[in-house]
Structure 1
Amino acid sequence: MTQPPLLTIILTPLLILALATLLTWVERRLLGLWQDRYGPNRVGPGGLFQAVADGIKLLFKQDWIPPFADKAVFILAPAIGMMTVMLSFAVIPVTARQSIADHLNVGLLFVLAMMSLGVYAVVLAGWASNSKYALLGGMRAAAQMISYEVFMGLSLLGVVMITGSFSLHDIVTAQSGLWFIIPQCAGFVVFLLAGIAETHRLPFDLPEGENELGAGFHTEYSGMKFGMFFLAEYAGIILVSALVTTLYLGGWQGPLLPPVLWFALKTGALVAFFILLRAALPRPRYDQLMALGWKVLLPVSLLNIAATGTVLMLHAPG
């Protein structure tokens, strides 16, 4: 396996940051379309430069740290959130030849490990802020993200059992005849719901909960520290969409079009679905969110594993 060029390693995080910034504009335009109102339409063609204007505004806003906060941890928390998301993209195979470490034999475990570490960002942010609203948001995030990581991991066991590998490249290759969304439809639904909860996006944005908590774990943040949380969330949407594409929708595979375009189209459609959920669904109560996970998603995940194992045993040679 050849080593990726240094230029790829440097450009990949820059591209992700650019896409996350662009996604803030895409989301606002799509929300305007679906909710029958105007989105950003003043700055640049179609409001395209609004994301740039917002970025410049964040750069020049006062980077204030509350005197009652734990300064070191307060600064470290958004950096952890950004770093874990960026590292996860290293193993995503965009095409058969384009990624940093797509042939890593434990690529799927690497992504799950990075997403698990991401919980530290919101928990530490809530605790270091020394604010009751931020602390409540951090505790909600801890319970929500750790719980839904369980269901996310269990939902993937069916894919791993069929493929016999933790390599994301091998998983995409194994779908050359049939995408896993068909034999693993239950795992697909569980993984998608768990991904929404992991990125704490609407309707599962309980760690922020503007109605009850003001802004939750990042209530005390301003300037680019807030911007890092913001960008990490949008990069997380792209990451989960890319993972669903890789694990269940055949990755880069498809007829006629170039592989990178197929990957982009599938990922883009899933990102649009994330945004549609924000436009269409209300936020549930926190107990309803946890009940959905432990009372519905957990049994479905276990049944999916049992059914997959049974089918594989029945069709095993000899």
Structure 2
Amino acid sequence: MATYIEIYGEQVVQLFNKLEFGRSSFESIWILLSTLFLVVGVTIGVPVIVWLERKVSAGVQQRTGPEYAGPLGIGQSLADGIKLLLKGDIIPSKGDAWLFTIGPVVVVTPVLISYLVIPFGQNIILSDLSIGAFFWVAVSSIAPLGLLIAGYASNNKYSILGGFRAAAQSISYEIPPALCISAASLLSGSLSTVDIVKAQSKFGFLGWNPWRQPVGFLAFFISSLAECERLPFDLPEAEEELVAGYQTEYSGIKFGLPYVGSHSNLFASALFVTILYLGGWDFPISYFESIERDFLFLGSSGEPFDILGLVVSIFTTLSKSFLFIFLSILTRWTLPRVRIDQLLDLGWKFLLPIALGNLLLTASFQLLVIS
């Protein structure tokens, strides 16, 4: 089904053609605007997640948290970002200046690209790829290379140890989520993120995948925390052991970019948990879904275009995603950090076997249903 960009883009293309603008020129402008909108949206979301993490952690520890910088301290994250922008950029004298600069960029860029295949509504997606779910797995695996580059280029023993840990952790926790995604895709018959959500929309929350894939859901949840390097899996930047890990020699905006990448990756992982297992933009109760479909979405052309419908879809998707973020924050302030050997054992000896077994069982049941 055509996305919003395609529906309204074609209308604007016709207008531009009447004004003797070339289609290729407009498509280039449209791609730039979509990319700009994506980057701005994610950049705005990062300070919100940082503020939420500070307030939730303060509540867990019976503190107040940021309070004076804007309403409820919402401006504190913005103030910290401005501070990093104004700080000086220091490059180690014996480090590799070019790799030292490109490392944080390699960390952030793949995370931003992964948002291309995330649907916030039935037609609210930048690119509905037929292999959208695996596209996220492939792209997200590039980010740890940036951490390894940053650690190597810093010429610091703590940094290189953090980079090695990031690479080892990424390799260990890439296969289990890919197997979980494969199992969810077998149930929907497609790797498209939009099709996976539609396959869960028949019976409200009873049709969501955690009921059919409880093992895959837990494995994907744990793997997502490890991929985002959240406690108790933050071994690459363990402050008590590695000072600041791969960020030890960084300052200014280069110090902030890995944090932007980390929180953006957490947000993307939360959205993918919502898409794969929590029904995406659909309401938990099928009765409300019919009301939404009849009164909010359908217009004279049969295409969903109503502004209220857009808001409802985005709000539903974000609500489910922030529930995952809230749980990840509680996990950070509840569980102690594991050792590196325990981290690798959990990935290779526990999550990988149960994710593979879950995939084989799912494939077997699907074959029985088909036959």
Match of 1:181 in 2: 210
Residue of structure 2 in register with 1:18 after alignment: 44
AA partner of residue 368 (structure 2) = L
Answering whether residue 147 of structure 2 is matched by residue 129 of structure 1, we say: no
Alpha-carbon distance between aligned partners in 1 of 2:77 and 2:360, rounded to the nearest angstrom? 47
Partner of 2:228: 199
Within-5 A mapping of 1:220-259: 220-254=249-283, 255=285, 256=288, 258-259=312-313
The corresponding residue for 2:179 is: 154
User: Which amino acid in 1 is paired with 2:220?
Assistant: F
Q: Which aligned pairs between 1:203-214 and structure 2 lie closer than 5 A?
A: 203-214=232-243
CA offset at residue 249 of structure 1? 0.6
Q: Which amino acid aligns with 1:274?
A: S
Distance in 1 separating the partners of 2:158 and 2:34: 41
The equivalent residue for 2:67 is 41
Deviation at 1:293, TM superposition (A): 1.1
Distance (Å, rounded) in 1 between the aligned partners of 2:124 and 2:35:
11
Give the match for residue 82 of structure 1.
Answer: 108
2-structure distance, mates of 1:261, 1:49: 22
Following the alignment from structure 2 to structure 1, what is the Cα–Cα distance between the partners of residues 146 and 214? Answer: 32
Distance 2:215 2:100 in 1: 39
Q: Distance in 2 between matches of 1:151 and 1:68?
A: 39
Partner SS for 1:182? helix
**TM-score between the two structures when normalised by the length of structure 1:** 0.96
1:275 aligned to 2:300? no
Give the distance between the partners of 2:130 and 2:88, measured in 1 at CA: 44
Q: Distance in 2 between the 1:156 and 1:45 partners? A: 40
Q: Which runs of 4+ in 1 moved over 6 A?
A: none
Name the CA distance, whole Å, in 2 between partners of 1:280 and 1:189: 18
User: Given the alignment, which residue of 207, 216, 231 partners 2:245?
Assistant: 216
Q: Letter of the 1:295 partner, please give it.
A: K
Q: Using the alignment, how far apart are the partners of 1:47 and 1:316 within structure 2?
A: 55
Is there any run of 5+ residues in structure 1 with no aligned partner, and where?
none
Establish whether residue 285 from structure 1 lines up as the match of residue 339 from structure 2: yes
The answer on whether the counterparts of 1:74 and 1:128 sit within 8 Å (CA) in structure 2 is yes
Tell me, in whole angstroms, the C-alpha distance in 1 between the residues paired with 2:366 and 2:39: 39
Query: What is the match of residue 30 of structure 1?
Result: 56
Q: What's 1:311 paired with?
A: 365
Question: In the TM superposition, what is the alpha-carbon distance from 1:19 to its structure 2 partner?
Answer: 0.6
Q: Shift of the alpha carbon at 1:9?
A: 3.3
Query: What is the SS of the residue equivalent to 2:370?
Result: coil
- In structure 1, the partner of 2:190 is 165
Do residues 113 (structure 1) and 138 (structure 2) align? yes
CA RMSD across the alignment: 1.3
Deviations 1:212-267 (A, max 9, x none): 00011111111000111111111111000000000111100115472221101100
CA distance in 2 between partners of 1:100 and 1:81 (Å): 22
Larger of the two Rg values belongs to structure: 2
Q: State the Cα deviation string for residues 86-127 of structure 1 (Å, max 9, x = none).
A: 0000110110111211x2111112111111111111111111
Q: CA deviation at 1:10?
A: 2.0
Q: Is 1:9 paired with 2:35?
A: yes
CA distance in 2, matches of 1:149, 1:164: 22
- Does the Cα contact within 8 Å between 2:134 and 2:178 map onto a contact in 1? no
TM (normalized to structure 2)? 0.83
Distance apart, 1:14 and its partner CA? 0.3
| Partner deviation per Cα, 1:21-64 (whole Å, 9 max, x = no partner) | 22111110110011111211121221111111101110111111
The 3-state SS of whatever aligns with 2:68 is coil
Using the aligned pairs only, state the percent identity.
Answer: 39
Aligned partner of 2:80 among 54, 58, 61:
54
Distance 1:45 1:163 in 2: 44
Q: Say if 1:59 and 1:224, in contact at 8 Å, map to a contact too.
A: yes
The answer to whether the Cα contact below 8 Å between 1:9 and 1:100 also exists between their aligned partners in 2 is no
Q: Amino acid of the residue matched to residue 135 of structure 2?
A: F
Residue 176 of structure 1: how far off its partner (Å)? 1.2
Q: Does 1:144 align with 2:169?
A: yes
What CA deviation, in whole Å up to 9, does each residue of 1:107-160 have, x standing for no partner? Answer: 112111111111111111111111100000000111111110011111222112
Deviation, 1:278, is 1.1
